[in-house]
């Protein structure tokens, strides 16, 4: 009852926010606001819902899919960083300089693609094209609402646990724009699905999504595949007990997996993109038994590993990696990528 009253109170502001974003989209759609096209073939991975829909593992999936065929660059805004403007990730970069997710991309794939951040995606794409003119595939992380740059392909992520078609725009809900924004998508990927998703549920989701997308736009289904737990020194371990420490937007799927498969004795959650300090590490350590491993995510790893190294505590910390798994949709999605990315790329070159 209380929640319903709160939503009702926010309704006028929700309508106003939806109107403003809809007018903005209309101005871009009609050309009254100008969009720019990057020199690179550009793929956007984004969402309508704020935070935690699985953009980072999806970008990594695309890097793995294309790194052997094309020369890649990735461009993000760099949420959580303490800098402004264009920054290219390097071996000396920190999360405070480029953001945690871009640093994660660099540490995992820096040999296969260049990683950069810039809040102005048009400017960032131009600088990348000048510095790396032969790198002809640009992956834009979280740029579905960045209308100034017109991409070649838009992938819209829809969280199985928080579908956009059941949500509302700010402040009454968590949508960045109205549901009709899904109409710009070239494909919708339903993320974080149960591995045993039933055919009936797939049809139900496709029907709900279909009310907001263009006719013929495909809907794909993916789940999360977790790897073995590794200590910060990269040794695979089978811990007897865990203490979970993380700062991500939607930790529930991770917590569910760990609690289902390991003995979780404690949990400490920080806000998304939290920039950990040595004080955080030492405070958490006081709550953990000596035999317990403090487990986090790859996104948190890039911020915590330098701290634990300085404190000589790397043996007390571990992380669990995750990947996108398209399951039975793998072949269909790869065929779609061939038709909409590989073929146009080869035609351009």
Exposed / middle / buried, residue 117 (Cβ in 10 Å: 0-12, 13-18, 19+): buried
- Do residues 224 and 192 lie in contact, with contact meaning Cβ atoms separated by under 8 Å? yes
The answer on whether 45 is annotated among ligand-binding residues is no
The answer on whether 85 is annotated among ligand-binding residues is no
The answer on whether 50 is annotated among ligand-binding residues is yes
The answer on whether 54 is annotated among ligand-binding residues is yes
Query: Can you tell me the distance from the alpha carbon of 221 to that of 265, in angstroms, rounded to the nearest whole number?
Result: 33
Left, alpha or beta for 41 (phi > 0: left; psi -120 to 50: alpha)?
Answer: beta
Q: Which two tokens mark 157?
A: 């992520």
Query: Can you tell me the distance from the alpha carbon of 305 to that of 310, in angstroms, rounded to the nearest whole number?
Result: 9
Q: Which two tokens mark 203?
A: 């049809």
- Do residues 322 and 57 lie in contact, with contact meaning Cβ atoms separated by under 8 Å? yes
What is the C-alpha radius of gyration for the chain, rounded to an integer number of angstroms? 21
Tell me the CA distances in angstroms from 38 to 139, 193, 215, one per residue in order: 11, 33, 27
The answer on whether 14 is annotated among ligand-binding residues is no
The answer on whether 51 is annotated among ligand-binding residues is yes
Query: Can you tell me the distance from the alpha carbon of 164 to that of 135, in angstroms, rounded to the nearest whole number?
Result: 34
Which segments are annotated as binding site?
49-56
Which segments are annotated as binding site for ATP?
49-56
């Amino acid at each position: 009852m209380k929640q319903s009253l709160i939503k009702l109170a926010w309704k006028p502001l929700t309508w106003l926010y939806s109107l403003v974003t809809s007018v903005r989209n209309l101005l871009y759609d009609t050309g009254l606001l100008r969009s720019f096209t990057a020199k690179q073939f550009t793929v956007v991975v984004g969402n309508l819902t704020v935070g935690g829909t699985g953009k980072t593992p999806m970008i990594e999936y695309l890097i793995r899919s294309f790194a052997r065929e094309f020369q890649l660059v990735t461009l993000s805004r760099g949420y959580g960083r303490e800098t402004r403007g264009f920054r290219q990730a390097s071996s000396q970069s920190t999360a405070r300089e480029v953001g945690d997710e871009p640093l994660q991309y660099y540490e995992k794939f820096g040999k296969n693609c260049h990683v950069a951040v810039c809040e102005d995606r048009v400017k960032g794409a131009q600088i990348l094209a000048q510095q790396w003119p032969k790198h002809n595939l640009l992956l834009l992380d979280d740029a579905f609402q960045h209308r100034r740059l017109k991409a070649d392909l838009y992938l819209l992520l829809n969280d199985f646990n928080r579908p956009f078609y059941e949500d509302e725009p700010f402040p009454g809900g968590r949508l960045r724009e109205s549901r009709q924004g899904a109409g710009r998508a070239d494909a919708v990927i339903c993320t974080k699905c149960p591995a045993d998703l039933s055919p009936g549920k797939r049809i139900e989701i496709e029907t709900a999504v279909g009310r907001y997308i263009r006719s013929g736009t495909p809907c794909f289904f993916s789940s999360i595949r977790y790897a073995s737990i590794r200590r910060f020194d990269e040794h695979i371990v089978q811990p007897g007990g865990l203490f979970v420490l993380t700062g991500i937007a939607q930790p529930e799927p991770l917590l569910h997996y760990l609690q289902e498969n390991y003995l979780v004795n404690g949990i400490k959650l920080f806000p998304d993109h939290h920039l950990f300090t040595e004080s955080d590490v030492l405070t958490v350590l006081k709550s953990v038994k000596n035999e317990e491993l403090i487990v986090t995510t790859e996104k948190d790893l890039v911020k915590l590993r330098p701290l634990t190294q300085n404190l000589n505590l790397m043996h007390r910390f571990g992380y669990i990696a995750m990947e996108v798994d398209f399951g039975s949709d793998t072949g269909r999605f790869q065929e779609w990528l061939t038709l909409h990315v590989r073929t146009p790329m080869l035609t351009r070159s």
